[in-house]
Amino acid sequence: MESKQISDETVLIPKTNSKGKAVVDGDAHGSPPVVTTAKTITPQGGRWKKGLAILDFILRLCAASAAFAATAIMGYDEQILPFFTQFLQFHAEYNDVPTFTYFIIANGIAGGYLVLFLPFSIVCIVRPHAIGPRLFLAVLDTVMIALIISAAAAATAILYLAHNGNADANWIAICQQFSDFCGTASAGVVASFIASVILIFMVMNSALALKRS
């Protein structure tokens, strides 16, 4: 130990050995020194959780893009046949089928939700151990999955009838005449199913992050 004499008072300066352990003298009566060890406690799995949060942010952007693409494709779906009569024009548009209107609304809601709640995903990146935002997003993502899949499934049923018809109900297949209309609607449905699959992966990602909390 080293000592310095300042105004008849002794100031003890502890020495540090090579192993990072500080040796502190006891009191003036010669009590044995106390050996202390400094430990730094770091949260476990921080990088892993942050990686999952970044993946969630990327998937959220992809799902929003797919949902908006499905909305735009179906919203601009229209076809007018080149022939018509004096009193009738052959025209097909998405709002002729209520199911397609529901499809546009559902995918628009899902896309808007995914964009508006991006800040929650950013919070999960900044605070990877936060449970509340992840749980909140997981619940809402599950609701959006149900919404998108219901809309895509209903639109798929309508497109099946448009392609094949139904002889028992005397429903004729219209896609032979309105091929562009049916093709565009099918592309919108595919985009919607892609969005739903991405949302499913997002929920699985959130569940994995919550399991490790």
Radius of gyration over every alpha carbon of the chain, rounded to an integer in angstroms: 33
- Same domain? For 150 and 79 the reply is yes
SS3 106: helix
- Same domain? For 59 and 147 the reply is yes
Instruction: Determine the Cα–Cα distance for residues 69 and 54; give it in Å rounded to an integer.
Output: 23
| Contact criterion met (CB below 8 Å) for 14 and 24 | yes
**Overall average pLDDT of the 25-40 stretch:** 51
- Same domain? For 25 and 83 the reply is no
- Same domain? For 180 and 201 the reply is yes
User: Which residues are CB-contacts of 151 (< 8 A; sequence separation ≥ 6)?
Assistant: 102, 103, 105, 106, 107, 192
**Overall average pLDDT of the 17-32 stretch:** 50
- Same domain? For 16 and 64 the reply is no
| Pairwise pLDDT comparison (60 vs 47), residue with the higher score | 60
Compute φ and ψ for 24, nearest 5 degrees: -115, 130
- Same domain? For 19 and 68 the reply is no
- Same domain? For 102 and 200 the reply is yes
The tokens describing 86, both together, are 């004096």
- Same domain? For 56 and 32 the reply is no
Instruction: Determine the Cα–Cα distance for residues 84 and 101; give it in Å rounded to an integer.
Output: 26
pLDDT band at 33; cut points 50, 70, 90: low
pLDDT 10s digits, 196-211: 999 999 999 998 888 8
Lowest average pLDDT, out of 1-5, 18-22, 162-166, 198-202, goes to: 1-5
pLDDT 10s digits, 154-211: 999 999 998 888 888 778 888 888 788 888 999 999 999 999 999 999 999 998 888 8
User: Which residues are CB-contacts of 70 (< 8 A; sequence separation ≥ 6)?
Assistant: 103, 107, 152, 188, 189, 191, 192, 195
pLDDT band at 9; cut points 50, 70, 90: very low
pTM: 0.73
- Same domain? For 62 and 158 the reply is yes
pLDDT band at 77; cut points 50, 70, 90: confident
Pairing, β 21-24 against β 34-37:
antiparallel
- Same domain? For 25 and 66 the reply is no
- Same domain? For 107 and 25 the reply is no
Neighbours of 198 (CB within 10 A): 23
Structural domains counted in the chain: 2
* DSSP string covering 144-186: HHHHHHHHHHHHHHHHHHHHH-BTTTTBPP-TTT-HHHHHHHH
pLDDT 10s digits, 124-153: 888 888 888 889 999 999 999 999 999 999
31 has a pLDDT exceeding 70: no
Residue 67, Cα to own-chain centre: how many angstroms? 12
- Same domain? For 197 and 153 the reply is yes
pLDDT 10s digits, 81-128: 666 665 566 667 778 889 999 999 999 999 999 999 999 999 988 888
User: Which domain covers residue 109, as residue numbers?
Assistant: 46-211
User: Which residues are CB-contacts of 99 (< 8 A; sequence separation ≥ 6)?
Assistant: 154, 155, 157, 158
